[in-house]
Chain A
Amino acid sequence: MSHISPVIWQFLVKWMTNFALFPPEASKIAPQMDALYFFMVLVSLIGLTIVVLLVISFSILYNRKRHPVAVQIEGSTLLEATWTIIPLGLFLVMFVWGALIYFRVFTPPANAMNIYVVGKQWMWKVEHPGGQHEINALHVPEGRAVQLTMISQDVFHSLSIPAFRVKREAIPGRYTTVWFEATTPGTYHLFCTQYCGTNHSQMTGDVVVMTQEDYRKWLASSTSGESLAQNGERLFASLSCAACHNTRPDARGPSLANVYGAKLTLSSGGAVIADEAYLREAILNPSQHITQGYAPIMPTYQGQISEEGVIALIEYIKHLDSDYRVEQTLTTTDMLPEGEGATPAGKASAGNAPAAKGMVKP
């Protein structure tokens, strides 16, 4: 998008960055956004220069000493049209250009890796799918598309990474997403930019961009031992979700294998894609998200599960491609509703932990 020679461009950016007049460009979208920004700066400078030059020259040419009698001029439709159409045209160019960038920033590519962020007063909790947890820090690999799925536990927060030129609010009650692809290893600022109370100014952190190799090492060394999906599997069992969400013929709920990303028809008739937002709503406000063909009996889990828990469940469901392990749970526990067909309860452990058989596929 930049029509300036790359050499001059680099020089400009480096010089400005070193003098701390401009943030570093560390993501793929950053130069694109900067190009638009500089275009706008240029247009503004030209506009301002025109106005200032006109005002100064008119003030000199037509000051009272030199030009004692004013000439009454009604106006000029041509001039009016000119300075209506040209600014409008320029603004529309900026609108289109900006809209393209906006859509790019908020439309993640299909292969983006997902990282969850939960904001709360006054810290950022970052959850990697592999089970790495960070507070006020975000480690990402360079050269890979990373999507942040964010939510707030309490008030509005806003995650901002100036070096990447991305920013998005973390809101209570719904997920928001933003994506970026980091290009330059280094450490960059991370800020909360939506005023959120007393320690708003302390809700800052670091984004660490690593080479792919370093990132792999970091992942291996920082894991808590359990991925989000594994955690989710545990929650799935402890909350007795498998009691209804299984593949038995009399199952009271739909099987959740491969449901992520599928198109569902709801009992209200509408169609939805089962994405993160839908899954979250289905857990917390199920009555309005019942799949067609099933009775509206799913209880709500609002108040019983934290945002991190919901994220874990969603991660589990995202990676669920077979009900094998769910079935195993049912046969080894007496989880099914009472009176709903005998289960060979046998050596039932009192209720909860499924037989762990190695890691769930990431």
Chain B
Amino acid sequence: MQDSAVVAQGARNAAAMADHAHGGHPTYLLHHFNSVEQQADASSFAMWLFLLTEVMFFGGMFVVYLIYRNWYYPAFVAGSRQLNVALGGINSALLITSSFTMTLAVWNARMRRKGGMILCLVLTFALGAVFLGVKGAEYKEKFEKHHVPGEHYSLQSFLNPDSDPAAAGTRPLPLDEARHTELFFSLYFAMTGMHALHMIIGMGLMAYILFRARGGAYTAGHTAFVEYFGMYWHFVDIVWIFLFPLLYLINRH
């Protein structure tokens, strides 16, 4: 046999080994797995492990937050006061609801209901988009009030609280404490920014899922991608559930 013919025969042999007619297993079973169960088991484990790495990632930032909050509590109280609890609360509600709609989307996928799944995904996407919009408005307000750390950071709201309706009635901070509020905002932007980045990535993935879903991709019995995306989305939600009280609710009565 010629070389290329041998190679081609090898390729055919390999294909035969994984031939669908041979074993009757579904098209979505990847060829390096022995069974659908093994594939699902391995993929699910992988997704949980990935979320664990994300926990370590956000965890690092939470540790930084905890240390500085412990050292500079009054500054953190004053900084937290500047955040709008109503908007933060709305965002929390939006995100928790989006987790609910995401769960519904996964359920619909399992029930092979394409229309239902697409509707729930669109709702999730919309809720996420509104969340990001609210976040954007909050960031804009911070920018306008010169509470973005860096060159243009202003201590006025803390040295002179009556000049700022959000801080009216609180005691003015001495200069050295006021300086530490910049750390609070650094952490605010770093942590919510990282969170928002994860949400944007999530919404990009959602757009991809919606595109594939129209072709019936996840309602034909193979829901793995949607399920794992759901896990990711829930994780993003849980991070926010920690962020909200830690950033917005310091010493509020």
Contacts and interface: CB of A to CB of B under 8 A. Distances in A.
Contacts of A299: 174-175
Nearest to B175: A300
A272 to B, nearest CB: 15
A297 B173 CA distance: 10
A4 B74 CA distance: 59
A299 B175 CA distance: 7
Nearest to B173: A287
Contacts of B176: 284-288, 300, 302
A246 to B, nearest CB: 21
A297 B179 contact: no
Interface in A288-347: 288, 296-300, 302
A67 B176 CA distance: 78
Nearest to A286: B176
Interface of A: 284-288, 296-300, 302
Contact of A298 (B72, B74, B174): B174
Given A286-B176, A287-B177, A300-B174, 10 more contacts: A285-B176, A286-B174, A287-B74, A287-B174, A287-B176, A288-B72, A288-B177, A299-B175, A302-B175, A302-B176
A240 to B, nearest CB: 16
Most buried by B among A298, A299, A300: A300
Contacts of A285: 176
Contacts of B174: 286-287, 296-300
Nearest to B174: A287
Instruction: Please provide the 7 A-B residue pairs with the shortest distance between their CB atoms, ordered closest to farther.
Output: A300-B176, A287-B177, A287-B174, A285-B176, A300-B175, A287-B176, A299-B175
24 contacts: A284-B176, A285-B176, A286-B174, A286-B176, A287-B74, A287-B173, A287-B174, A287-B176, A287-B177, A288-B72, A288-B176, A288-B177, A296-B174, A297-B174, A298-B174, A299-B174, A299-B175, A300-B174, A300-B175, A300-B176, A300-B179, A302-B175, A302-B176, A302-B179
Interface string B166-184: 0000000111110100000
Contacts of B173: 287
Interface centre among A285, A286, A299 (most CB of B within 10 A): A285
Contacts, number: 24
Interface of B: 72, 74, 173-177, 179
Nearest to B171: A296
A300 B178 CA distance: 10
A285 B179 CA distance: 10
Interface-centre pick from B74, B173, B174 (highest chain A CB count, 10 A): B174
A176 B177 CA distance: 24
A298 to B, nearest CB: 7
Contacts of A296: 174
A288 B179 CA distance: 13
A302 B175 CA distance: 9
Contacts of A286: 174, 176
A300 B174 CA distance: 8
Contacts of A302: 175-176, 179
A302 B177 CA distance: 11
Contacts of B175: 299-300, 302
Nearest to A268: B73
Contacts of A300: 174-176, 179
A297 B176 CA distance: 11
Contacts of A287: 74, 173-174, 176-177
Nearest to B180: A285
A166 B31 CA distance: 62
A315 B175 CA distance: 25
A175 B96 CA distance: 48
Interface centre among B74, B174, B176, B179 (most CB of A within 10 A): B176
A277 to B, nearest CB: 14
Nearest to A300: B176
B160 to A, nearest CB: 15
A287 B179 CA distance: 11
A86 B219 CA distance: 63
A299 B179 CA distance: 12
